[in-house]
Amino acid sequence: GAVVSQHPSRVICKSGTSVKIECRSLDFQATTMFWYRQFPKQSLMLMATSNEGSKATYEQGVEKDKFLINHASLTLSTLTVTSAHPEDSSFYICSARSVGYSGNTIYFGEGSWLTVV
Amino acid sequence: KNQVEQSPQSLIILEGKNCTLQCNYTVSPFSNLRWYKQDTGRGPVSLTIMTFSENTKSNGRYTATLDADTKQSSLHITASQLSDSASYICVVSPAMDTGRRALTFGSGTRLQVQP
């Protein structure tokens, strides 16, 4: 079963509104979560690294005021797309890092399709 | 230049045939290399993970190899099935994992298996 859950899986919002996507680690604590964006037929592009209890680290070119990331607990990180525009329509994926005795394991969520109309 | 290069970009094979996907990387020092399968519109699912000391790892019909000297990895799919149609992504973790750049992604190989 899935160990990282994303919600919603699909969302349609009107241009100018904000939408929140949740990423939850279901059976482990994730001090670090990652948010990606993926356009059709392209690879995942890292947007930001989210560390529990601290500010997210954004990749170059990603507007931190537009893509708000909150990692308030060890099992939940949220991505809020503020004042969404049609060009923000994309597939957003989160991943969470589980630290175990054998090393780090990265689990991906199922992704969230955002369509801005 | 991307630090993880995959080839071919896309591949079409007939059901039942074998295929091999390539991944060359320059990430150094490197900690581990992972292969993921991503179905269209879904999140990536891990197939294999290898550390620098491992040469091969299998997961069912998937076998990954790693040559840390030449910085090359391959993913071999045996007796392909229609459900193997997906993108296959090679991901490399640097040894100095600061938490900021835990993963470097290849652009993926889109595999299509035809009946």
Q: For A34-48, A50-64, B22-36, B88-102, which range has the lowest pLDDT when averaged over its residues?
A: B88-102
- pLDDT at residue B102 greater than cutoff 70: no
Q: Between A115 and B40, where is the model more confident?
A: A115
- Give residue B61's pLDDT: 97
B44 contact residues in A (CB cutoff 8 A): 44, 93, 108
Q: Can you name the residues that pair with A57 across neighbouring β-strands?
A: A49
- pLDDT at residue B30 greater than cutoff 90: no
- pLDDT at residue B112 greater than cutoff 90: yes
- Give residue A103's pLDDT: 54
Task: Give the containing element (helix H, strand E) for B40.
Answer: none
- pLDDT at residue A15 greater than cutoff 70: yes
The answer, yes or no, to whether the previous bond of B8 is cis (omega within 30 of 0) is yes
Q: A with B: how many residue pairs have Cβ under 8 Å apart?
A: 57
Percent of chain B with pLDDT over 70: 91
- CB-based contact B60:B70 (threshold 8 Å): no
- Please tell me which residue of chain A has the smallest CA distance to B48: A105
- pLDDT at residue A79 greater than cutoff 80: yes
- Give residue B2's pLDDT: 63
A42 contact residues in B (CB cutoff 8 A): 107
The answer, yes or no, to whether the previous bond of B29 is cis (omega within 30 of 0) is yes
- Give residue B1's pLDDT: 55
In this complex, do B101 and A46 lie within 8 Å of one another by their Cβ atoms? yes
**pLDDT, tens digit (0-9, with 9 covering 90-100), for B49-78:** 898 889 999 999 999 999 989 999 999 999
Q: Which of A104, A105, A107, A113 is the best substitution to test chain B (most B C-beta atoms within 10 A)? A: A104
Per-chain mean pLDDT for chain B: 89
Quick one: A1 exposed, middle or buried, by C-beta within 10 A (0-12, 13-18, 19+)?
exposed
- pLDDT at residue A22 greater than cutoff 70: yes
How far is the alpha carbon of B35 from chain A, nearest alpha carbon, in Å?
12
In this complex, do B100 and A93 lie within 8 Å of one another by their Cβ atoms? no
In this complex, do B97 and A109 lie within 8 Å of one another by their Cβ atoms? no
- Give residue A1's pLDDT: 52
A41 contact residues in B (CB cutoff 8 A): 110
- pLDDT at residue A51 greater than cutoff 80: yes
- CB-based contact B52:B31 (threshold 8 Å): yes
Percent of chain A with pLDDT over 70: 93
Residue B37: partners with Cβ closer than 8 Å, 6 or more residues away: B44, B45, B47, B86, B87, B88, B89
pLDDT class for A98, splitting at 50, 70, 90?
confident
- Across residues B104-108, what is the average pLDDT? 86
- pLDDT at residue B97 greater than cutoff 60: no
Residue from A41, A17, A28 nearest A91 by CA? A41
